[in-house]
Chain A
């Protein structure tokens, strides 16, 4: 098997004039792409079924599952999971991955570059596409880009969504850096950005996972790995294995998702009210004196002293101060001899100071279980009993020995993903959850919540500079979205439409959209169109999406089964890995993929060497780097990355597509919070996010100095509270949308993604009677009251839009809530009718981005529901 494959590789090296060792000169890109795709499949190992076996990595979503494709006579026949990855990540694959051949074999794919014949852009405007040559496409785009570069490179905006995962964001980042524009915008604010920003503003890094191998009580606030989410293919079997071990999973969310369906208990909470419920749990834990006081004192800033203005008292050396209980005086926080007070108010130089923990205690005063019931709908008795359950499961004070290390053992993890994030107060809802975890000492404990790399980026714990005027069209990190460290994708078109309104000192002229679908997938989505009408747009994609409909030029991309990538993977608490994706066909003989499109543009703009330099930096290449003065095929680029990052021969990558290793107990439990938050000079996790007080002060100062009229300071002040408040359970529509009695939430389903390339898949559309179109899920009793029967056509109406759909009556949703999945109802004229079925709900969603993170609000809207 190996011999066959290696023989082929040698042949390819000779044919292309580029061996895998020497990274020599290459032939023309189209020739290579075609030859590689055809020869690759032909040369791979044969299975007992007579198929060729090509191992690769799925990128239908962001789980990056290992796959093993079966190719028969040059046709990709089936896709199986790569069983070699089961020990590291995915045991199986999802239906999108299993039917992934139709992501590639799809007659509705983009097959040729096109330019629009109709200059008018609009939702119902036929672009009147004219097929053009790649040469004409590159020439037109290059001319535009060259003009912008000479004038002001910032006038170019690069967008990617799923494109980040099909080629990695390092390539686009290197390109925009070489070009000179600050405008590169990813989609995270439509996903879970608020969770990351909450992490960053709490422990100086982002990314966390429950330690499910040891967790005994798993609280899940609307994380839905069973219908589509990051880490799904690890979470799903880790949860199932945990449950068989005796772990209890409680899912807290308004809708009975598939995750809730598999839970031991579903707590149907009112949408948006999580913060109050979580804070009520915190209050119960504190009132019952069932908290991990040692953890709070050792790893968090709970003992640090907070002045009346909300800032932490600093000593002469600038270090935070705590109250020393024996000598009764303020001392620096990291003085090992100090026994710091966790609670209390102390007078220092005539001024009162409370410990940060005391500030939390005081702010929780009114958040009783009864109040939580009134706001969130969770019975007070359950809040009380759950707090007891959490405390009992937390095993305060206990340790466990793993691989010789005595480790804190707190087998309770409270986890979320979009559930607490896709909200106007997403950061604060997530902060509430992190505080709950801190109170029980769960961070980095065995069975608790494992943090990716605490204090890896301590700069996240600094106040925002609140830049003004903004440099970027998405206003990220500006006074508008001061801590938007994950860009702010939905904002761009508002700014492009009226840059002066936001103080942007230039008018953007060109936008490139790579595998992203903003006019379809953001809230209040129709407004995205205004900006897109004002610029010269290029779309790079595999199907003719809504974004393409607003493009001036469309470039077809290769699919994930046709192209190369040094693929990202999802590390788990126990494993780390590297992987590649490799082509196994080129169904429509496309000469370029996104990587080579970028290369070609850089080259034509005279930026090739600058691009190479940026690539080496963005990828962090150390041993093997891209060389100036030459071109690379996609495969050669992946060879460089593999050689530097993995170091094994590329033949190994071609055969296995993957290397994985296990993480030691030390690296799993001791490298993050233990190493970076405890002891002398180490920054504590922020139970109390004092820097947000200063961020708000900077907002206020900037707004006043620049007479900014479109920032509501009162609301910013609420948003920037250093401690989550009950106000964070009252987003704008909850306060203002009178006459709209029902809450509207959105969610994913397993059978679609948002960007549109699954909408045409004939298998996904036939996985049951309910997959080709979505539905309006409404509680059966509520429906009865409204005279709505199962299957009736109904209208969902908010303050910003209306949508029609079929009612699905269910007992699996709160009576005051309706739920609609947000990936159906495509309207691109480039889609066949059968891909357009269902309800496009995004246009009904009010947009109230989180003022800290810029996160798009998907779950705050209130609506009316009535029969059509």
Chain B
């Protein structure tokens, strides 16, 4: 069985936020509920100053605390599938926000009373009126949403029996990983010891963030210094 992970190389990342923009467009951005965020911060004191860039999205943890909280509350709106992807079922979510409080990474985004349109006060664009959307892109008020590893792409690969193309071809690769100008992001199957992600993690000593929580994230980082 394939298990999909992402590697983010902060040594290469230069903070362009293209992954942030591409995620928003691909996943029909809900204003104020980003799925992907660039954390940019300085360390040191002039002139020995550094700036660090760490993009964050859902870690798709092996032991997702969000799911544990949701299950304990009895809603069971969060699932983790056999490919390692953690998803929120918008129809089951009641918007309690428990997942948001338990996630060590601040990932789940609880929508407000109204899903705002992209250009407030103006006509809705044709993009916003597109039909035929993946259920994951039909955003709801008072509902939690978050990064899906672009599950709407992965599920097509799985359905078509083209799992081996995941992380390789644009149709079957999360869009944030596709657009990076410096190949600071990779996506692939960690169960395959010869995969791009398996070898990269080993070669560049990638690790997970905030290991103390024991959630075992499926997003690995090559770190560039600073505080984590």
Contact = CB atoms under 8 A, between A and B. Distances in A.
| Direct contact between A and B judged by beta carbons closer than 8 A | yes
Interface of A: 47-49, 68, 72-81, 83, 90-99, 101-102, 105-108, 226, 232-233, 236-237, 240, 244, 256, 258-259, 261-262, 266, 268, 587, 750-751, 760, 762-764, 766-768, 771, 779-781, 810-815, 832, 834
A107 B126 CA distance: 10
Contacts of A258: 14-16, 51
Contacts of B221: none
B43 to A, nearest CB: 8
A779 B42 CA distance: 12
Contacts of B25: 77-79, 98-99, 101-102, 763
A212 to B, nearest CB: 13
A232 B25 CA distance: 22
Contacts of A47: 170-171
A77 B25 CA distance: 7
A261 B50 contact: yes
A685 to B, nearest CB: 33
B193 interface: no
Nearest to B168: A83
Interface in B27-58: 29, 31-32, 34, 37-38, 40, 42, 44-47, 49-53
Would you list the 8 A-B pairs with minimal beta carbon distance, nearest first?
A92-B181, A95-B21, A261-B51, A105-B125, A107-B122, A98-B22, A98-B21, A762-B118
B182 A764 contact: no
Contacts of B175: 78, 80
Contacts of B44: 811
B223 interface: no
A248 to B, nearest CB: 15
A75 B126 contact: yes
B24 A105 contact: no
Contact of B181 (A78, A107, A237): A237
28 contacts: A75-B126, A77-B25, A78-B26, A78-B175, A80-B22, A80-B179, A81-B178, A81-B179, A92-B183, A95-B16, A98-B22, A98-B25, A105-B127, A107-B122, A226-B16, A237-B183, A240-B182, A259-B14, A261-B50, A262-B14, A750-B16, A763-B25, A766-B31, A768-B20, A771-B17, A780-B46, A811-B44, A812-B49
A832 B118 CA distance: 13
Nearest to A769: B37
Contacts of B153: 49
Nearest to A767: B17
Contacts of A762: 29, 31, 118-119
Contacts, number: 184
A512 B15 CA distance: 38
Contact of B15 (A49, A226, A244, A781): A226
Interface residues of B, number: 60
Contacts of A810: 42, 49
B181 A766 contact: no
B29 A763 contact: yes
Given A77-B130, A80-B175, A95-B17, A812 B182 contact: no
A237 B182 contact: yes
A72 B53 CA distance: 33
A763 B160 CA distance: 32
Contact of B156 (A48, A74, A779): A48
A258 B20 CA distance: 17
Interface of B: 12, 14-18, 20-22, 24-26, 29, 31-32, 34, 37-38, 40, 42, 44-47, 49-53, 118-123, 125-128, 130-132, 152-153, 156-157, 160, 162, 169-172, 175, 178-184
Contacts of A764: 21
Contact of B16 (A94, A106, A587, A813): A94
Contact of A750 (B17, B122, B126): B17
B156 to A, nearest CB: 6
Contacts of B127: 75-77, 101-102, 105
B185 to A, nearest CB: 9
B102 to A, nearest CB: 24
Nearest to A257: B51
B170 A80 contact: yes
Given A48-B160, A256-B51, A95 B20 contact: yes
Contacts of A90: 181
Contacts of B128: 105
Contact of B38 (A107, A268, A767): A767
A671 B119 CA distance: 52
A73 B181 contact: no
Contacts of B50: 261
A767 B176 CA distance: 13
A598 to B, nearest CB: 28
A751 B24 CA distance: 14
B65 to A, nearest CB: 25
B124 to A, nearest CB: 8
Contacts of B34: 766
Nearest to A762: B118
B225 to A, nearest CB: 11
A768 B42 contact: no
A683 to B, nearest CB: 39
Nearest to A241: B182
B173 to A, nearest CB: 9
B180 A91 contact: yes
Nearest to A377: B47
Given A92-B183, A95-B22, A779-B46, 20 more contacts: A48-B162, A48-B172, A68-B170, A72-B130, A73-B130, A81-B178, A83-B170, A91-B181, A92-B18, A97-B179, A99-B25, A105-B125, A226-B16, A232-B181, A237-B183, A240-B14, A240-B182, A261-B15, A815-B46, A832-B119
Q: Which of A258, A266, A764, A767 has the most CB of B within 10 A?
A: A767
B17 A73 contact: no
A164 B137 CA distance: 38
A811 B42 contact: yes
Nearest to A63: B181
A80 B178 contact: yes
A811 B48 CA distance: 8
Contacts of B16: 94-95, 226, 236, 258, 750
A42 to B, nearest CB: 15
A687 to B, nearest CB: 33
Nearest to B204: A244
B109 to A, nearest CB: 12
A564 to B, nearest CB: 21
A108 B24 contact: no
B179 A98 contact: yes
A80 B14 CA distance: 19
B112 to A, nearest CB: 15
Contacts of A49: 152-153, 156, 171
B47 A266 contact: yes
